[in-house]
Structure 1
Amino acid sequence: MREFLAAVNNELAQGNSLCLATIIAQKGSAPRSAGSRFFVRGDGSFWGTIGGGNFEAQVIEKAALALRQGRTELMHYRLMGADVADSEMICGGDLDVYLDPVSADDPDNLALYQAAAQSTNGGRGRAMLATLMIDGGSPRAAGRKLLLRHGQPALGSLPVDEDGLASLAAKLGANGSFPQQLWDAPGAASLPAPLLLESIATQPVVYIFGGGHVSQKLAPLAAMAGFGLVVADDRPEWGNRQRFPQAQEIWNRPLEKVLEGESLGPDAYIVIVTRGHLYDKEVLAQSLRQNAAYVGMIGSKRKRAMIYKALSEEGVTSAQLEQVHSPIGLAIGAETPEEIAISIVAELVMVRAARMGSKRLLMGI
C-alpha cells in the first residue's frame, strides 16, 4: 500500500488520471488474493499487477474504458480454460474487481491521495482509506472517499452517521493492519453501497541489534523485502553507514539500555543478533516491554534455555517468552550468514503477511 499510494500521488501530481483496480473478492484458485491492486493509465500502461495473463489484460482494457467514460464499475470474472493456463493455476476461480477512475482534474482527489501517501511516511500512526463502491457511479471523490487518521476523519466525506464513523475508527484502532475488506458494521445499512476499507500503516521497520556478519547480510534483504531499517550496535566500527548503507538510522548506544525511552510500536520487527549471551539477554528483556509485531533472537536451544531461565528469575512470564521466535528464522537448514539472513527475512515476511491477513498464507498457496 505504501508504494502504491506514493505512485498514485506522483501520477496525479503530474496531471495523469488513473483507474484503480482492486480485487475485492476471490473464490477458488486465483493468481492474486483479495486486496491486490494496480492502476491503469489512459494510454493503457499500468503500474503493478493483479496476476497477469488474459485476466489482467481484460481488466486493463476495461479499466481504460472506465477511465475514458468516467464511471466506476464492479467487474465479475470467472477464471477457467485458457485463462487458468495463462495464470499457471491448477483450477479456476471467481474474482470481483472494483474499477475506480481517479481524475487528476478533481482537486479532492489530489488532496486526498497526497494526504494518504504522506500518512505512510514518518511517525508510527495509522490511517485508513474508505471508498464507497458504487457500481456505475461518478468517480469524483466528494461524498465517496474518506481518509481517517488515528481514528478521526482527516479528509473527504461519506454518508455515514456518527455510529458508523465510530465503527470505522474502532476498526482502525483495533488492528491497523487489517486487509482490504467490505465493511459490515453498524451504520452500513444506511449506505447506498458497500465500503472498501484499506489500511495505511507506516512502513514496518526491522530493528537489528548487533552489527555483525549476519546483520550485514540481513540488512539489504530486509530493505529489499520492503521493511524500513534501524541498526543498533554500541561499537561504531561495527554499526555505521559504510557497513549498513540501507539503514534509516544507526544507533551507537550501550546495548544494556538501547531501548530506554523508545516506544517502537506495533509495526516494529526486532531481530536480536548481538555478539554475546549477556547482550542478547539484555536486549531481549527490553524488547519484551515493547509492543512489537515480532521479536526474534539468534542462538541455539541451549543458549535460549539459559537466557529464558535468567529472565524468568527476573520476573518475565512464560507467556511473554512464548512470543519470542528463537531459534530465529525459518527452519531451512541455514548455516552461513547469508543463509541465516535468508531464513530470518523469510520469517519476517511470513509474520507480516499473517498480520496483514494474507489469504495466500491462510490457504497455503
Structure 2
Amino acid sequence: MNIFAHAAELEELNIPFAMANILETSGSAPRHQGQMIIKADGTTLGTIGGGMIERYVIEQAIEAIQQREPRVVKGRMTRTGPDAMDMDCGGSMSVHIDVFGLKAPLILIGAGHVNRAVAQAAHVLGFDITVVDTYADSLAEDNFPQGSKLVFADTMEQAIDKLTITAQSYLVIATNHEDKDAISKIVKQDAKYIGLMASKRKLQTLVSHLKNIGISDERVQAVYSPIGFSIGAETPEEIAVSIMGEILKVKNGAAGGLMKDDPRINRKRLVLIRGAGDIATGVAVRLHNVGFKVVMTDIAKPTIIRRSVSFAQCLFDDTATVEGITAKKAHSCHSVFELIDKGMIPVLVDEECNFAAKLQPNFVVDAILAKRNLGTTKALAPHTVALGPGFMAGVDCDAVIETNRGHHLGRIIYQGETAPNTGIPGNIGGYTHQRVLRAPEAGTMRCHASLGDIVKEGELIAQINDTPIIAPMSGKVRGLLNEGLEVHQGFKIGDIDPRGDKADHLSVSDKARAIGGSVLEALLHLDMRSL
C-alpha cells in the first residue's frame, strides 16, 4: 500500500502513528530522502535507510506519540562524538517526526438533543466521539456524525464501565434524570475536562450528594458546571457552541475572553507589579481574580521568606502556585503574553523595570516594600500606585497605600505619603520582633526546617555558614529564605508563627488581601478619573 494512503487510513481510524521524514543529509548517509510510518507498538511501513539511525528514529517516534509532540532527530553515522549512532558511514541525517491519528476523545454521557448538537459541532472540530445512553432509540446512528462510537447499557453505571477514560478525555454529562449516577462515577476519573449540564439549583443538590459520598472539594470544584460560556445560549445548537468553546479553551490552554481584550491589543487591563513577594502576590491574586492581566517583576534571586505564598518562588522553581493561580518565569515579552493566554501570571527578572517601556501597561504597582523608592516614577505608566513608605502620592506616583497594621491599613492616599516605617513586625499572639529570625552574621543560608514545620523552642531551624539559628519559640515555620542565598548580618531570614497548626502558611495573609483590595480600588478610581 502507498505510504500516504496508509497514513490517511490510519488517521481516519484515529489510530496513533508518527510520520518520519528525512529533512537533510550530508556525507555518506544511508538515504537522502524517504518517509516511514511508525505505530505506537513499533511496527513500521517504509524506511529512512535502516541501521542504528532508523532504530533510534523508531524509539523517538514512539516517545513522540506518547507525549503527543513532534520533534526533530539528528544523527551522525560515527562511532563517537555528538549524536553518534555507532555506525561507520560517516554521514549525518536530520529527521522530522510528526504525530497523527490523535483526535481528542470526547465522551458524551446522554444522547439527548444537547449532546447530539455537541457531537455535530465536535465532529467538525476533529474530536473522536463516543456517546453512551440507556435508551437504545436515542442512540440511533442517524442522530450522530459518521464514525461516532455508540455505547448502550441497561444502567448508566454499566454504560460508563464500558468506557475507556484517560487523562486526555473530555466528558460532557447531559442526561434527563441520570446525571446523579453519571457524575458520581465520572467525578472520580482523571480526565482533562468534565462538564455537567445542570441548573444552579440542581447543581447544589448534586454537589451536596458528592460531598456526602466522600468526594473531595478539589474534585468537585474541578467539574465545569454550569457548563459552557455565558453567551445567552438557549437552543441545543447554541448550547453546543457554548460547551465546545469551553472545551477548546481547556484543550488549547487558553485564557478565554474577548479577542478585543487581548493585552497585546488592548493594554487597558494590563498591570505590571514591581516585586513578587507575599504582599505583592496578594495584590496579584485579587487583580487576577477580577480579570486584570498581571505581569510581575523581581530581582534574579529575591529574598522572600514566605515562599509558599510568593509568586517570586517561580524564579527558583520555574513555577509557583498560590490559591489555585500559577505563576511562571518568563524571559521575554512574547513569553509574557503566551503565559497570560494560558491564564498564568508571568514573572520577569527585571530589577530596573525596563520591561515597562516594552509592555506599555496601563498600570504599574510598586509592591517591592523596600521602605524607599527604587525607581518608580509616574512616567512608567498612565497610572502608578505604590505600597508603603518612601513614596509621595502626586509626585512620584498617583496613589500610595498604607501598609502599617492598624486602623488605617489599606488607606488610599492620593496626595501625600503614608506613615513612616515603625520597624516593628506585626503582632501575632502577643509576639512581634521575638518571632523573627535574623542572620547572626553575613554568609550563606542553609535550611534545616521546611515551611509549615511545627517546631519547638530551641530547635535548629537553619544556619548561616557554621552558625546555628534556633527557634526563639514554639510554633509553625511560616517563613524561611531559599537555600543557598547570601545574606548580610541582621537580615531577616525567617519567622515563626506562635499559633502553630492554627496558622495558615499556604493562603494569602489578611494583610496582603486587604492591601490587594485597596490597590484594586485605587486602579479603578484612577482609571475612572482619567475618563
Q: 1:156 aligns with which of 46, 64, 69?
A: 46
Q: 1:189 aligns with which of 83, 86, 110?
A: 83
Q: Percent identity?
A: 23
Per the alignment, residue 287 of structure 1 pairs with 186
Q: Contact 2:123–2:145 at 8 Å: present in 1 too?
A: no
String of CA shifts for 1:126-183, please: whole Å, max 9, x gaps.
221222211799xx9887433221152512334627566434433322x23x2x4434
| Secondary structure, aligned partner of 2:19 | strand
String of CA shifts for 1:340-363, please: whole Å, max 9, x gaps.
1111122233334449xxx99878
Q: Contact 2:173–2:195 at 8 Å: present in 1 too?
A: yes
Does residue 15 of structure 2 align to residue 115 of structure 1?
no
Q: 1:260 aligns with which of 155, 161, 169?
A: 161
String of CA shifts for 1:234-265, please: whole Å, max 9, x gaps.
22343323444656233332213211133244
Per the alignment, residue 206 of structure 1 pairs with 106
Per the alignment, residue 210 of structure 2 pairs with 311
Distance in 2 (CA, whole Å) between partners of 1:342 and 1:132 is 41
Q: Contact 2:105–2:127 at 8 Å: present in 1 too?
A: yes
Distance in 1 (CA, whole Å) between partners of 2:241 and 2:96 is 35
Q: Comparing both structures, which one devotes a greater share of its residues to helix?
A: 1
Q: Contact 1:164–1:185 at 8 Å: present in 2 too?
A: no
Query: CA 1:142/1:281 → structure 2, altered by over 3 Å: closer, same or farther?
Result: farther
| Secondary structure, aligned partner of 1:232 | strand
Query: CA 1:142/1:154 → structure 2, altered by over 3 Å: closer, same or farther?
Result: farther
Query: CA 1:282/1:247 → structure 2, altered by over 3 Å: closer, same or farther?
Result: farther
Q: Contact 1:241–1:247 at 8 Å: present in 2 too?
A: no
| Secondary structure, aligned partner of 1:119 | helix
| Secondary structure, aligned partner of 1:160 | helix
TM-score (norm: length of structure 1): 0.54
Does residue 236 of structure 2 align to residue 342 of structure 1?
no
Query: CA 1:153/1:210 → structure 2, altered by over 3 Å: closer, same or farther?
Result: closer
Q: Contact 1:202–1:267 at 8 Å: present in 2 too?
A: no
Q: 1:231 aligns with which of 114, 126, 131?
A: 131
| Secondary structure, aligned partner of 2:139 | coil
Query: CA 1:354/1:112 → structure 2, altered by over 3 Å: closer, same or farther?
Result: farther
Query: CA 1:153/1:245 → structure 2, altered by over 3 Å: closer, same or farther?
Result: closer
Distance in 2 (CA, whole Å) between partners of 1:249 and 1:165 is 31
| Secondary structure, aligned partner of 1:226 | coil
| Secondary structure, aligned partner of 1:152 | coil
Query: CA 1:347/1:280 → structure 2, altered by over 3 Å: closer, same or farther?
Result: same
Q: Which runs of 5+ in 1 are unaligned?
A: 1-109
Q: For 1:238, give the aligned amino acid.
A: S
Q: Contact 1:205–1:268 at 8 Å: present in 2 too?
A: yes
Per the alignment, residue 198 of structure 2 pairs with 299
Distance in 2 (CA, whole Å) between partners of 1:182 and 1:210 is 42
TM-score (norm: length of structure 2): 0.39
Does residue 110 of structure 2 align to residue 217 of structure 1?
no
String of CA shifts for 1:205-240, please: whole Å, max 9, x gaps.
432222333223323222222223333222234332
Query: CA 1:154/1:165 → structure 2, altered by over 3 Å: closer, same or farther?
Result: closer
Deviation at 1:200, TM superposition (A): 1.3
Per the alignment, residue 145 of structure 1 pairs with 35
Per the alignment, residue 166 of structure 1 pairs with 59
Q: Contact 2:26–2:93 at 8 Å: present in 1 too?
A: no
| Secondary structure, aligned partner of 2:83 | helix
Query: CA 1:155/1:321 → structure 2, altered by over 3 Å: closer, same or farther?
Result: farther
| Secondary structure, aligned partner of 2:141 | coil
Query: CA 1:248/1:162 → structure 2, altered by over 3 Å: closer, same or farther?
Result: closer
Distance in 1 (CA, whole Å) between partners of 2:74 and 2:45 is 22
**Count of aligned pairs between the two proteins:** 246
String of CA shifts for 1:253-278, please: whole Å, max 9, x gaps.
221321113324455432111113xx
Distance in 2 (CA, whole Å) between partners of 1:133 and 1:270 is 39
Q: Contact 1:119–1:126 at 8 Å: present in 2 too?
A: yes
Per the alignment, residue 513 of structure 2 pairs with none
| Secondary structure, aligned partner of 1:134 | strand
Query: CA 1:334/1:227 → structure 2, altered by over 3 Å: closer, same or farther?
Result: same
String of CA shifts for 1:292-333, please: whole Å, max 9, x gaps.
443211124443343234224334344444443222223333
Higher relative contact order (CA closer than 8 Å, sequence separation 6+): 1
Q: Which runs of 5+ in 2 are unaligned?
A: 86-91, 255-334, 343-531
| Secondary structure, aligned partner of 1:208 | strand
Distance in 2 (CA, whole Å) between partners of 1:161 and 1:345 is 40
String of CA shifts for 1:46-97, please: whole Å, max 9, x gaps.
xxxxxxxxxxxxxxxxxxxxxxxxxxxxxxxxxxxxxxxxxxxxxxxxxxxx
Distance in 1 (CA, whole Å) between partners of 2:210 and 2:11 is 36
Distance in 2 (CA, whole Å) between partners of 1:363 and 1:272 is 30
Q: State the Cα RMSD in Å.
A: 4.1
Structure with greater Cα Rg: 2
Query: CA 1:217/1:182 → structure 2, altered by over 3 Å: closer, same or farther?
Result: same
